[in-house]
Amino acid sequence: MFDPMAMITAGEVTRNHVLSARPGAPTVPERSRSGGALRRRTGGALRRLADRIEPRLTRAGGGSPERAAAHPSGRRLTRAGCG
């Protein structure tokens, strides 16, 4: 199906892309990477909160819960930190 608006938009996008490679093309200043420590601390706090709300399952001998659940030996699953 012919869509003239798509053709116009494709032409404009292609033109903008080609013109962005010119030496005098406008640029966006690079943002500084401040706040990395804040992101790490927030992520850690959210992980600890999630573990308190719903502890992750682990196999009694270690390993991933998926492998423990699929293992036919019948080893019991325990909550992390509960022995």
More confident site: 9 or 73: 9
C-alpha–C-alpha distance, residues 42 and 5, integer Å: 44
Contact 53, 46 (CB under 8 A): no
Whole-prediction pTM: 0.32
Per mean pLDDT, which range of 8-12, 21-25, 48-52 is the poorest? 21-25
Residue 54 pLDDT grade (very low, low, confident, very high; cuts 50, 70, 90): confident
Instruction: Give the phi and the psi of residue 35 in degrees, each rounded to 5.
Output: 95, 5
What's the pLDDT tens digit per position in 32-47?
A: 777 788 889 999 999 9
pLDDT reported for residue 66: 57
